Amino acid sequence: MTATPVLPDGWTLVALDSVGSTNDEAARLADAGAAEGTVVWAREQTGGRGRRGRHWASPAGNLYSSTILRPVCAPPRATELGFVAALAVADVVPAGRDVRVKWPNDVMVDGGKIAGILLESSIGQGGIVEHVVAGIGINVRFAPQLADMRYPGAALGGSVEGALEQLTRALSRRLAEWRRDGFETVRAAWLDRAGPLGIEVDVRLGEELVRGRFAGLDREGALLLETPAGPRKIVSGELLGRAA
Ligand code: BTN
């Protein structure tokens, strides 16, 4: 356990006791020119945000971090970073626990959600990505249980400092892999950690509920389903239940 987390070479830590949302603080720093690998970490968040406008409970004891990334790519490719981040989270889970990634960016451990990932991009003139903030929350000491939670929670154990060190190392490795090999390697690693092909899943698309068999992930990160009406490709939606 270390008091001040040590980040990978060239990365910079901005450590805060309390902040509204580390994503907002990281976006502010990115707009002011902060480099890739700047990590905003707060012991607690007073306005932690989840996907789809949800609240992310953020009392002290769990990990709240947002990393500034500056990929040189068009917006559709930036969404690949959600899969990169999910793999990095899965990498920090100790061996012996059942870890599964769940489309699009969830990480489940022993059947419970252990982490949340909120990617937010800033698009500049010409439609090029200026920066991406990869906000990652990991349940370390406890799993908050809220009335609107769709899954049970799970927790990593250990220290928040240790979790941040491991997460940034894993993220640095996975990013290097993505830059070197492209999405294909990430996609294969993600499928390796996902639920088995063929299991039945439900996906919510706004008001519509689609049921089908999990048939993989396409080259752009869309979820592939075999439904009674034929194959279906889901670009944006919410997978319900615990698997895939
Ligand atoms: C989800 O809905 O699953 C995503 C939750 C993302 C939470 C993290 S905690 C660090 C960062 N700051 C935020 O306000 N949200 C993300």
Tokens standing for residue 28: 């502010």
Is pLDDT above 70 for 151? no
Domains observed in the chain = 12-193 (3.30.930.10), 200-239 (2.30.30.100)
Please state the atom number of ligand 1 nearest to the C-alpha of residue 49: 14
The string of pLDDT tens digits covering residues 152-199 is 778 999 999 999 999 999 999 999 999 999 999 999 999 999 988 999
User: Which pTM does this prediction carry?
Assistant: 0.94
Question: Do residues 37 and 67 make contact, with C-beta atoms less than 8 angstroms apart?
Answer: yes
Amino acid letter at 39? V
Is pLDDT above 70 for 149? no
Please state the atom number of ligand 1 nearest to the C-alpha of residue 22: 12
Is pLDDT above 70 for 146? no
Q: Could you report how far apart the first and last alpha carbons of the chain are, in Å?
A: 33
The string of pLDDT tens digits covering residues 85-99 is 999 999 999 999 999
Please state the atom number of ligand 1 nearest to the C-alpha of residue 105: 3
Is pLDDT above 70 for 150? no
The string of pLDDT tens digits covering residues 117-131 is 999 999 998 889 999
Mean pLDDT of 201-228: 93
Which residue puts its alpha carbon closest to atom 11 of ligand 1?
A: 135
Which residue puts its alpha carbon closest to atom 15 of ligand 1?
A: 49
Band of the pLDDT at 5, cuts 50, 70, 90? very high
CA gap 81, 134 in Å, rounded? 8
Q: How far is the CA of 18 from the centre of ligand 1 (A)?
A: 15
Question: Do residues 186 and 174 make contact, with C-beta atoms less than 8 angstroms apart?
Answer: yes
Q: What angle do CA 43, 48, 50 make, to 5 degrees?
A: 130
Query: How confident is the model at residue 1, as a pLDDT?
Result: 46
Is pLDDT above 80 for 244? no
Mean pLDDT of 73-80: 92
Is pLDDT above 80 for 226? yes
The string of pLDDT tens digits covering residues 21-58 is 999 999 999 999 999 999 999 999 999 999 989 999 99
CA gap 193, 213 in Å, rounded? 17
Question: Do residues 46 and 16 make contact, with C-beta atoms less than 8 angstroms apart?
Answer: no
Amino acid letter at 17? D
Mean pLDDT of 197-207: 91
The label of the residue with tokens 């987390």 reads: 5
Question: Do residues 64 and 14 make contact, with C-beta atoms less than 8 angstroms apart?
Answer: no
Q: How far is the CA of 50 from the centre of ligand 1 (A)?
A: 5
List pocket residues of ligand 1, CB cut-off 6 Å: 21-23, 45, 48-51, 54, 56, 64-66, 116-118, 135-137
Q: How far is the CA of 206 from the centre of ligand 1 (A)?
A: 21
Question: What mean pLDDT is reported for the chain?
Answer: 93
Question: Do residues 88 and 174 make contact, with C-beta atoms less than 8 angstroms apart?
Answer: yes
Measuring CA to CA, which residue among 100, 120, 119, 116 is closest to residue 150? 116
Question: Do residues 131 and 40 make contact, with C-beta atoms less than 8 angstroms apart?
Answer: no
Q: How far is the CA of 197 from the centre of ligand 1 (A)?
A: 28
